[in-house]
Chains A and B, each alone.
Chain A
Amino acid sequence: MTRDLLPTRTTEFSLSDHAHALHPPTATGLDNRKVAIWTFIGSECLFFASLISTYLIYKGRDTKGPTPDEILQIPLVTFGTALLLFSSLFVVLALNGAQRGNRKALIGWLAATIVCGIFFVSMQVYEFQHFMHEGLKLQTNLFGASFYTLTGFHGTHVTIGVIWLITVFITALRGKLPPERALNLEMAALYWHFVDVVWIVIFPVVYLMK
């Protein structure tokens, strides 16, 4: 009975022959791993929404400094934002290379993505150290608490993304990322793009709407 309800491979499944060999048929015709990563990304939207709304609610309600006006550095963070945007471009070019079997493009663009990610995390570590030196700690005021929580969680996501991309990079270096396994990179890339779009929201909300 259940078998009858499932679509047949020849008529409705969109997975290619190679990908099909790596993944059993699904009722949706879509790879379950890709559905899973999108579901995860959807849940992450709600996670960051709660952090962003907390930041906005507490914005401007500090009884003592340092306040955002006194401490935030626009040029440094603009550079970090540009790095993250470029890394999104690089990872999509790496994915394009992986899907077309272009190993040189895959490895080159993936390495560039990882370098951008490491620079972004370094920028954030430097920024946090600078703020600590200026007297802004997690417990200093509402701005400190909400700022470090929001940007700290984002930075943690970027760090996890960098580690994930490095594992994919090592797999690619070993020649174990042929086109039919490009989904392994696509999932990491989707996560990476999500981290980028979250920063696209955080950057103006925290740094430009002071």
Chain B
Amino acid sequence: MDTHAAHAPEAQGLDPHEASHPGPGLYIKIGVVLFVLTALEVAAYEVAHRPGALGTFLEPILVPVLLLLSAGKFALVAMYYMHLKQDSKLFSGLFVFPLIIAAVVIVSLIALFIYHYSYQRGML
């Protein structure tokens, strides 16, 4: 029996999309990156809340830094662990379109309530 043929994706019942999924090596590398990004998030929080030059520098930019790190982790999990990078674009559409609406809802509601509270306090 041809060993190569036996290990072909079709012989193992794999979908061609599944066959293009990354292997364990890449999954582990991404896992390490996710762990490092989480450690950076916590480190940024700790440094920003401590006295010192670095804390003073980091405190005003803490929220954007955390959002950036969080977005990076989100994208890595969605692209590689959820296989959106390799799978059909239809799945990406089904996920990304509601995600955009969700982001718009969050930003709009925050903006609306900031306006509302500012109006109540006579700041507008």
Chain A interface residues (CB < 8 Å from chain B) = 14-19, 28, 30, 34-35, 38-39, 41-43, 45-46, 48-50, 52-53, 56-57, 74, 78, 81-82, 85-86, 88-89, 92-93, 96, 99-101, 178-180, 182, 190, 193-194, 196-197, 200-201, 203-204, 208-209
Interface contacts beyond A74-B45, A182-B13: sample of 17 additional A-B pairs, CB < 8 Å, sorted by A: A16-B15, A18-B13, A28-B90, A41-B94, A45-B95, A46-B101, A46-B102, A53-B109, A56-B110, A86-B31, A88-B81, A89-B30, A93-B24, A100-B14, A179-B12, A193-B78, A203-B38
Instruction: Decide: A204 and B105 in contact? CB cutoff 8 A.
Output: no
Instruction: Decide: B67 and A82 in contact? CB cutoff 8 A.
Output: no
Chain B interface residues (CB < 8 Å from chain A) = 9-10, 12-18, 21, 23-24, 27-28, 30-31, 34-35, 38, 41-42, 44-46, 62-63, 66-67, 69-70, 73-74, 77-78, 81-82, 88, 90-91, 94-95, 97-99, 101-103, 105-106, 109-110, 113
Instruction: Decide: B90 and A41 in contact? CB cutoff 8 A.
Output: no
Instruction: Decide: A96 and B24 in contact? CB cutoff 8 A.
Output: yes
Tell which of B62, B77, B88, B98 touches A42, judged by Cβ atoms closer than 8 Å: B98
Tell which of A82, A92, A99, A197 touches B18, judged by Cβ atoms closer than 8 Å: A99
In the assembled complex, the Cα of A85 lies from the Cα of B74 at a distance in Å of 11
Instruction: Decide: A42 and B14 in contact? CB cutoff 8 A.
Output: no
Contacts of B105 in A (CB 8 A): 46, 49-50, 53
Tell which of B27, B63, B97 touches A93, judged by Cβ atoms closer than 8 Å: B27
Q: How far is the CB of B25 from chain A (nearest CB, A)?
A: 10
Q: Interface majority SS on A: helix, strand, loop or mixed?
A: helix
Instruction: Decide: B42 and A208 in contact? CB cutoff 8 A.
Output: yes
Q: How far is the CB of B61 from chain A (nearest CB, A)?
A: 12
Given contacts A35-B94, A82-B38, contact A204 B67 (CB under 8 A): yes
Q: How far is the CB of A57 from chain B (nearest CB, A)?
A: 5
Contacts of A190 in B (CB 8 A): 82
Instruction: Decide: A48 and B102 in contact? CB cutoff 8 A.
Output: yes
Instruction: Decide: B66 and A39 in contact? CB cutoff 8 A.
Output: no
In the assembled complex, the Cα of A93 lies from the Cα of B109 at a distance in Å of 39
Q: How far is the CB of B94 from chain A (nearest CB, A)?
A: 4
In the assembled complex, the Cα of A201 lies from the Cα of B41 at a distance in Å of 12
Q: Tell me the nearest residue of chain B to A41, going by C-beta.
A: B95
Q: Tell me the nearest residue of chain B to A85, going by C-beta.
A: B34
Instruction: Decide: A208 and B41 in contact? CB cutoff 8 A.
Output: yes
